[in-house]
Amino acid sequence: MKLADLRQEYMRAGLSESQADRDPFRQFERWFDDALRAKLPLPNAMTLATVTAQGAPSARIVLLKGVEDGGFVFYTNYRSRKGRELEARAAACLVFQWSDLERQVRVDGAVQRVSTAASDAYYASRPLGARLSAWASAQSEAVGSRAVLEASMQEAGRRYGDNPPRPAHWGGYHVMPQSIEFWQGRADRLHDRLVYKRNAAAGWTIERLAP
């Protein structure tokens, strides 16, 4: 089958200005709750796109771990590729895709680290293996073999036992949105696209985009 022959008609729902909440975070909560009720796999999975200091793009999937203090929160190794790119240029784009609901959400904004206390609290809530792997894995660096990783994990376990401290190189980021776009698939490719833009004087404004 040719890829160009793959087709899908979007018929599930619409999104009008009258339906949309005036607050984009409440609108996101509505749609996220719909994804939970639909029992979609990994509804908090999101594409995180960053750029290098030279402007080269890169993207990967990470997990949303909170919507708080006006931002979308995820956690990672600060020395990883994405961490280095965010240190060089503190801006990112997030994309959620909930295909079964024919929906996407795109978030564009500045990025800043969460507080040390917030990173400590989330790290402490993780399973022991995940806490130890934050020590064992030099994320994004070349590694000789799987055996090297497993040996590093065993060494972390011997060193820290059941109560490893949070590594200073591991923690959270806030993506602080300047715009949030909600995309709802519609028939004949006349999709609904509503974008919320942050306005210092007027708060959030809503604008419809052509599909």
Catalytic site positions: 189
Query: Please, are residues 80 and 140 in contact by the beta-carbon 8 Å criterion?
Result: yes
What CA–CA distances, in Å, run from 5 to 85, 144, 160, 186?
37, 42, 55, 19
- Which candidate, 67, 80, 98, places its Cα nearest to that of 175? 67
Q: d(Cα 124, Cα 66) in Å, to the nearest integer?
A: 15
**At 190, is the secondary structure helix, strand, or coil?**
coil
State the CB neighbour count (10 A cutoff) for residue 38.
11
